[in-house]
A and B are shown apart, each in its own frame.
Chain A
Amino acid sequence: MSAGRSVAFAGIARSFGAVQALRPTDLAVAAGEFLTLLGPSGSGKTTLLNIAAGYIAPSAGRVLIDGRDVTALPARQRNIGMVFQNYALFPHLTVAGNVAYGLKARGRPADEIARRIGDALALVQLDGLGERAISALSGGQQQRVALARALVIEPDVLLMDEPLGALDRQLRKHVQLEIRRLHREHGRTTIYVTHDQEEALVMSDRIGVMRDGRIAQLGTARELYENPIDSFVASFLGESNLLDGRLISVNHGRARLDVPGLGVVEGVAADGLEGMSDVAALVRPEDVAVEPARGGWPARIEEVVYLGDLTALKVRLANGQDIWCRRHARLGVPAGAVTIGWEAAAIRILPRSQPTKTEERTP
């Protein structure tokens, strides 16, 4: 069953005074798709979501839902479900009062409202809590009330703005899977905003990485992880080591760069690398081989972090740069001086993105 409608943004932009919160953006979300907007805070995620909901008018461009231009429609006429950051539950109403609100606004009969409240609360596993006050709920329960309130109106599109940000890690993982299950079952078009890459990876069909008011790259998690267009996307999705250097040559899809203090590093060239000068080599931690002094780059082990199944090692290269590597815990940790190396085919040479005011990498 697919209850979703497609959403399209055509040339949508928004400024607040001198701040360009959103640069002209095109984005098409397919009916039933789960799309995540991922980016550091201030990158324009909330602005884009609020434009879809009708809470903010765009400075330019159009919003289409199911092909229909809704740019001029107020939020109340868009049939969109929104889960706000920190939920925005009505504090003076009960759980049931919150969930019933959208149905009352639609003038549904009382018996239907009662039945649908029951169904919605069961869906989010809050059966029997209908008469509770909002303030008597835990954070996780409040989150689920917000979800039930948004879903009960059977919205054409579900929008969620960092809905799990206030939950502790354990609960967050649980709710992530819940939200994914609900999406699988109902196929409701969902635009989900987060700054947590793991959340994006767990839930999304596609991810749009946002930066500085624009979508830097849009694609499946795998596309973004394996083929990031620049060092920003690479560092925002997944763990990454970036070796900055000057581009020497691009040849048959292979690129070579000169890393100061280290020498020549070779890898697969990203698109549009030709003619650039400032580039970076992306080395994923799982691609780094750490061997006791044998070939490759000499390095020193600085830190060892035991992660259960894996061990993360921080090694320092001769030029002072730190590289994180990961290996199976049962391989043990080599002692003393080591050398590190990698397959050139696993390395991507990317354009280096300039740091911006909104830069705020996740650790």
Chain B
Amino acid sequence: MSLTARGHLATALLLLPALLFIAVWFVTPLAQLFQLSVSDKAGPFAPYAQLLGSEVYRRVFVNTLWLALTVTAISILLAYPTAYVLTRLKGWWWTLAFYCVLFPFWISVLIRTFAWMLLLEKNGPINRVLLELGAIDRPLELLFNAGSVHIGMVHVLLPYAVLPIYAAMIRVDHRLLLASDGLGAAPLMTFLRIYLPLTMPGVTAAAVFVFLLALGFFITPALLGGVSAITVAMLIEQLVNERLVWSLAGAASFILLAVIFALLALAARFVPLGQALVAR
């Protein structure tokens, strides 16, 4: 056996467990779900037609996309300066700041969402402090609206935005900034023309990450959102658990999946995502 053939075999063997796992626990259920979505009594594509044809269901999709988009925008705006500060810190300060960024990863989303519910509720600490200070005379409606959903989701997703941007930032050759400065550029010009373009792959990777995760978010919008702000994930849950229409649930899943693939393909055209996600 030639060396390269042996290399390929070794690669295949190393990948085998993961491939088997995915095949058994991911591809098979997915195929079954697809089977369900096209086996409606009214015809194979009836559920799809019903979802895309109805104003109500369309609104759910638009809502979901819009929520994911705004959450992504806010996350990027917060993550960019945070990642920059991380690149400037040294030693202990760096370690401390980095753990602060990673800390949310270690606590379950459910617990964090409940924590926000406690903080934001009518008799929660925020309202009480504001009342005590006399800033308000009636408790604010902080919970079950777009604001609380955004707060909760951004909180969960921020690390996914910080890390790729940070990885892009530490790859920027410091001397390029010096060169720009030495050529007479004001700091704003150095930022806009050198730093921002060079860190853009990280921003794009972060945006794609956060957006895709936000699209499929369930717990946070379900617990922190109002009844009007229903997302696709919540819709699917309702269709399965309350209305027991598996064909519609399956179709909704596949529409979401199709949107995700389309967006990924679009993003991949602009940035080599693999490169942006893996720090050298």
Is B44 located at the chain interface by the 8 A CB criterion? no
Question: Considering the complex of A and B, which 5 residue pairs feature the smallest CB-CB distances, nearest first?
Answer: A102-B183, A105-B184, A88-B175, A105-B185, A75-B182
Q: Which residues between 31 and 84 of chain A lie within 8 Å of chain B, taking CB atoms?
A: 53-55, 74-82, 84
Q: Is B184 in contact with A88, judged by CB distance below 8 angstroms? A: no
Q: Is A92 in contact with B198, judged by CB distance below 8 angstroms? A: yes
Q: Is B180 in contact with A82, judged by CB distance below 8 angstroms? A: no
- Within 8 Å CB of A90, what residues of B? 176, 179-180, 194
21 contacts between A and B (CB under 8 A): A53-B178, A55-B182, A74-B181, A75-B178, A76-B185, A78-B182, A79-B184, A81-B182, A82-B182, A84-B179, A88-B173, A88-B176, A89-B179, A90-B179, A90-B180, A101-B183, A102-B183, A102-B185, A105-B184, A105-B185, A105-B186
- Give chain B nearest CB distance to A251 CB in angstroms: 54
Is A149 located at the chain interface by the 8 A CB criterion? yes
Bound complex: CA A54 to CA B189 (Å) = 18
Q: Is A153 in contact with B176, judged by CB distance below 8 angstroms? A: no
Is A357 located at the chain interface by the 8 A CB criterion? no
- Within 8 Å CB of A79, what residues of B? 184
- Within 8 Å CB of A53, what residues of B? 178, 182
Bound complex: CA A153 to CA B173 (Å) = 23
Is B197 located at the chain interface by the 8 A CB criterion? yes
Contacting residue for A88 out of B178, B189, B198, CB 8 A: B178
Chain B contributes a number of interface residues (CB within 8 A of A) equal to 17
Is A115 located at the chain interface by the 8 A CB criterion? no
Bound complex: CA A78 to CA B178 (Å) = 13
Is A169 located at the chain interface by the 8 A CB criterion? no
- Within 8 Å CB of B185, what residues of A? 76, 101-102, 105
Is A174 located at the chain interface by the 8 A CB criterion? no
- Within 8 Å CB of A252, what residues of B? none
- Give chain A nearest CB distance to B165 CB in angstroms: 17
Closest to B194 in A: A90
Closest to B187 in A: A76
- Within 8 Å CB of B181, what residues of A? 55, 74-76
Bound complex: CA A32 to CA B268 (Å) = 52
Is A106 located at the chain interface by the 8 A CB criterion? yes
Contacting residue for B182 out of A80, A91, A92, A104, CB 8 A: A80
Q: Is A153 in contact with B184, judged by CB distance below 8 angstroms? A: yes
- Within 8 Å CB of A106, what residues of B? 184
- Give chain B nearest CB distance to A243 CB in angstroms: 44
Q: Which residues between 76 and 117 of chain A lie within 8 Å of chain B, taking CB atoms?
A: 76-82, 84, 88-92, 101-102, 104-106
Starting from the known contacts A55-B181, A101-B193, 11 additional A-B residue pairs (CB-CB under 8 Å) come to A55-B182, A76-B185, A82-B182, A84-B179, A88-B173, A88-B178, A90-B180, A91-B176, A105-B184, A105-B185, A105-B189
Q: Which residues between 136 and 192 of chain B lie within 8 Å of chain A, taking CB atoms?
A: 173, 175-176, 178-186, 189
Known A55-B178, A105-B189: A92·B197 in contact at CB below 8 Å: yes
Bound complex: CA A101 to CA B197 (Å) = 15
Bound complex: CA A169 to CA B225 (Å) = 68
Closest to A77 in B: B184
- Within 8 Å CB of B176, what residues of A? 88, 90-91
Contacting residue for B180 out of A81, A91, A101, CB 8 A: A101
- Within 8 Å CB of B182, what residues of A? 53-55, 75-76, 78, 80-82
Q: Is B184 in contact with A102, judged by CB distance below 8 angstroms? A: yes
- Within 8 Å CB of A75, what residues of B? 178, 181-182
- Within 8 Å CB of A104, what residues of B? 189
Bound complex: CA A102 to CA B194 (Å) = 13
- Give chain B nearest CB distance to A144 CB in angstroms: 16
- Within 8 Å CB of B173, what residues of A? 88
- Within 8 Å CB of A101, what residues of B? 180, 183, 185, 193
Q: Which residues between 87 and 141 of chain B lie within 8 Å of chain A, taking CB atoms?
A: none
Closest to A159 in B: B182
- Give chain B nearest CB distance to A297 CB in angstroms: 52
- Give chain B nearest CB distance to A145 CB in angstroms: 12
Closest to B175 in A: A88
Q: Which residues between 237 and 268 of chain B lie within 8 Å of chain A, taking CB atoms?
A: none
Bound complex: CA A80 to CA B183 (Å) = 7
Please indicate which of the listed interface residues A53, A80, A82, A88 has the most CB atoms of chain B within 10 Å of its own CB: A88
- Within 8 Å CB of B178, what residues of A? 53, 55, 75, 82, 84, 88
Bound complex: CA A90 to CA B182 (Å) = 13
Q: Is B175 in contact with A105, judged by CB distance below 8 angstroms? A: no
Closest to A82 in B: B182
Bound complex: CA A104 to CA B180 (Å) = 11
Bound complex: CA A80 to CA B179 (Å) = 11
Q: Is B197 in contact with A149, judged by CB distance below 8 angstroms? A: no
- Within 8 Å CB of A149, what residues of B? 183
Q: Is B184 in contact with A84, judged by CB distance below 8 angstroms? A: no
Q: Is B184 in contact with A82, judged by CB distance below 8 angstroms? A: no
- Give chain B nearest CB distance to A69 CB in angstroms: 19
Q: Which residues between 221 and 249 of chain A lie within 8 Å of chain B, taking CB atoms?
A: none
Bound complex: CA A27 to CA B58 (Å) = 75
Bound complex: CA A81 to CA B182 (Å) = 7
Bound complex: CA A77 to CA B198 (Å) = 24
- Within 8 Å CB of A81, what residues of B? 182
Bound complex: CA A143 to CA B280 (Å) = 25
Bound complex: CA A90 to CA B193 (Å) = 10
- Give chain A nearest CB distance to B174 CB in angstroms: 9
